[in-house]
């Protein structure tokens, strides 16, 4: 929250009156922010549980539905969104090219796609092969809710991610590796020091 979120939000354009789709919306943190800034929001996640949380939190203020994002967003109309956001979701897809093609299709001309993902060099420390240039499934255990949770995601080199974007007809206009916000210094000084 104190690292990725401020970095992604800093990349967003003016949101008032914009149509935005949040891909991999999770429990709706970004959907809530986007709505509060005047955007009309569609929230999509592969988890029914996450969509239920979005609906509990935001009610009818957003259109929310379940979709396997590895299959893209086939029900969305061409050129219908000003902005596509996808916070910390891309690394759960073995091959994001299909989703990126749909992002290109549903964006209006001059629309933006803003996403965040794991940094490929940071995830390299978990590489089973030790080969930076492979796309590999990583199986990890996270303890974010007070109990261990098995998490599977894909680590890929930056070049593979960029190739998937260009293969889909998208181009990168800005890259941010982010910096933690000052609140992190209070809540997690050790991580703040490492990331600053």
Residue 86 sits in a domain whose CATH number is 3.40.50.150
Per the DSSP assignment, residues forming a β-bridge with 114 are 85
Q: Tell me, yes or no, whether 101 lies in a domain.
A: yes
Q: Tell me, yes or no, whether 187 lies in a domain.
A: no
pLDDT value for 1: 55
Q: Tell me, yes or no, whether 183 lies in a domain.
A: no
Q: Tell me, yes or no, whether 123 lies in a domain.
A: no
Per-residue pLDDT tens digits for 37-87? 999 999 999 999 999 999 999 999 999 999 999 999 999 999 999 999 999
Residue 2 has pLDDT above 70, yes or no: no
pLDDT value for 164: 96
Q: Tell me, yes or no, whether 134 lies in a domain.
A: no
Q: Tell me, yes or no, whether 152 lies in a domain.
A: no
Phi, psi of 112 (to 5 degrees): -120, 145
User: How many folded domains does the chain comprise?
Assistant: 1
* Calpha distance 140→82 (Å, rounded): 35
Per-residue pLDDT tens digits for 157-190? 999 999 999 999 999 999 887 777 777 778 777 7
pLDDT value for 142: 83
Q: Counting beta carbons within 10 angstroms of the beta carbon of residue 173, is it exposed (0 to 12), middle (13 to 18) or buried (19 or more)?
A: exposed
Q: Tell me, yes or no, whether 140 lies in a domain.
A: no
Per-residue pLDDT tens digits for 106-136? 999 999 999 999 888 888 888 889 999 999 9
Residue pair 108/79 in contact (Cβ under 8 Å)? The answer is yes
* Calpha distance 111→114 (Å, rounded): 10
Q: Tell me, yes or no, whether 27 lies in a domain.
A: yes
pLDDT above 70 as % of the chain: 95
pLDDT value for 143: 79
**Domain that includes residue 110, residue range:** 4-118+158-172
Residue 195 has pLDDT above 70, yes or no: no
Better-scored residue on pLDDT, 12 or 140: 12
């Amino acid at each position: 929250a104190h690292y990725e979120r401020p970095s992604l939000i800093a990349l967003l354009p003016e949101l008032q009156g914009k149509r935005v789709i949040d891909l991999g919306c999770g429990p709706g943190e970004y959907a809530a922010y986007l709505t509060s800034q005047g955007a009309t929001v569609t929230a999509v996640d592969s988890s029914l549980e996450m969509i239920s949380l979005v609906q509990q939190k935001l009610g009818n203020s957003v259109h929310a539905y379940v979709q396997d994002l590895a299959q893209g967003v086939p029900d969305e109309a061409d050129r219908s969104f000003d902005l596509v956001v996808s916070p910390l979701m891309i690394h759960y897809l073995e091959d994001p090219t299909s989703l990126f093609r749909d992002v290109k299709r549903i964006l209006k001309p001059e629309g933006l796609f803003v996403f965040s993902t794991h940094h490929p060099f940071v995830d390299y420390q978990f590489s089973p092969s030790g080969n930076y240039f492979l796309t590999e499934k990583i199986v990890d255990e996270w303890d974010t809710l007070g109990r261990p949770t098995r998490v599977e995601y894909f680590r890929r080199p930056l070049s593979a991610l960029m190739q998937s974007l260009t293969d889909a007809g998208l181009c990168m206009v800005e890259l941010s590796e982010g910096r933690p916000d000052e609140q992190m210094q209070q809540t997690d000084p050790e991580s703040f020091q490492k990331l600053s």
